[in-house]
Structures are given as C-alpha cells and as structure tokens.
Amino acid sequence: MVRILLGRSGNFFIRLLMRYKPGHHAKSHQRILQAVGRGLRTAGYTGIGVDGLAKAAGVTSGAFYGHFKSKAEAFQAAVTAGLEELRIGIASFQEKAGHGWLKAFADFYLTEKVTCPPGDACGLPSFAPEVARADQASREAYQIGLLELVEAVEAGLSDSKTERRAVAWEILAKLVGAVMLARAVSDPALAAEIGSAVRHRIGTTGRKARSGVRRSQVRTRVRGSRSAANPRAPKSKKG
C-alpha cells in the first residue's frame, strides 16, 4: 500500500507500507473460494447471496467484491475449483493405487461423498442442477472441467482406444447418478444399497485400469486440445 504524505516543506514523500506478506491475497482468495463452494453446495445458487457467502468466508461484502465482481463470477470459479478437485483426486488414485485405482476410487467416492455434509459433497453432481439453469459462461466452465475429468478417467483405462472414451463417460455417469440418488433418499440403508450396487457395476466396467498415469500427462493432453476462447469439443473416435 502506498501513502503520499505532505511534509512541512511542501514536498511530497512516498512511504511504502507493507501491510501484508507476499501471497496474502492469494491465500485469502483461496479461503474465500472454498467458503463460496461450501455455501453454494449447501444452499444452492438462489439460496444464498453475496452477504451470506461473505459471512461464511469471514469477510465483509466489500472484501468479497475485491475477489469476485459478482455472485455469478464466484459461482463459475467455485464450479471450476470443484471439478478440478475431483480431477486431482482421480489422478491421485491412479498414481497411488495402480491397476486397482478404479475400484479404490469408487469405494471411496460412493461412501465418503454420499455421507459427507452437503458443503463437502463433490462438485460434479452438486453443481450440475444449478449449472443447467445458469448462464452460458457457467455452463461453459462446467463443460471444460467435465471434459478434463473424462480425459483423466480415460487416461487410466486400458480398453481399446475406440472404447476408452465411452467407458470413461459410463464410469462418470454411474458415479454421479449414484451419489445424487443416494444423497436424496432418507433411508441410510437404501443409500448404502445404491452405492454398493454401483460400486459392483463399476468394478466390471472396462477390462482393466492402467497404472502410473501422471497428472501432468492428462493436463497437457487436455489443455493442448482446447482453446481458451472456445470450449473443447469431444475428440473424434478413430480406431
């Protein structure tokens, strides 16, 4: 922060006041973004306003606008962050669990993301109904993140090249559908039944999962195939 002080001699002096340590703004932004994501997952887009999101983040509404121009912009950022969190999780399971990554991930996802509080739920199913009613920019942000997710799953499969993408879509659809249904019912036993059934089906989806997939490989392939101005279209399938 810079303050210009008028001295007795009439000269101007510039005093540099370092109020915050380097990186403070980035850390604050991340903390506010996480709070925005939790608030929107819990209350829905129309169920909470800027004042509520700011309060959840522990900042004033004015400080909130220092990070986001509008609630719509904050929503788009939360959607992008939520899908990126899932992509990173998938890549982590691929790296650590090897050939068994898909089963291990399904076991985690269909238990943890079914029973956790709404604010901690996965962004892929949580934001989908909101995005479907949102503006074009929000839908494009969701689409970009979704395509990155399907490529992350695809990279961990060893099915034939012509089958991998379809199998990846099938896996994501099963996971998201199961979580949405299981979280919607009131009976915990029924929710567990839904999760168990889909975990079994995912275990038989595709022939094998590949191990040792690097996060950077997936990210490079995805970003190299889309332009910043235009969301990527799905790759054409060539045998």
CA distances 151 to 62, 93, 124, 133, 183, Å, are: 39, 15, 15, 25, 26
pLDDT of residue 22: 52
* Helix ranges restricted to H, the chain: 24-43, 50-57, 61-65, 71-97, 101-115, 123-132, 136-155, 161-184, 188-203, 215-224
CATH superfamily ID and name for 76-224 = Tetracycline Repressor, domain 2 (1.10.357.10)
* Annotated domain spans of the chain: 76-224
- The Cα 221–Cα 81 span in angstroms is 19
- pLDDT at position 134 is 92
Alpha carbon distance 8, 221 (integer Å): 63
pLDDT tens digit at each of 239 positions of the chain: 434 344 444 443 333 334 445 566 778 898 999 999 999 999 999 999 999 999 999 999 999 999 999 999 999 999 999 999 999 999 999 999 999 999 999 999 999 999 999 999 999 999 999 999 999 999 999 999 999 999 999 999 987 888 999 999 999 999 999 999 999 999 999 999 999 999 988 876 655 555 544 444 545 444 544 444 444 444 444 44
- Which tokens hold the place of 124? 């892929």
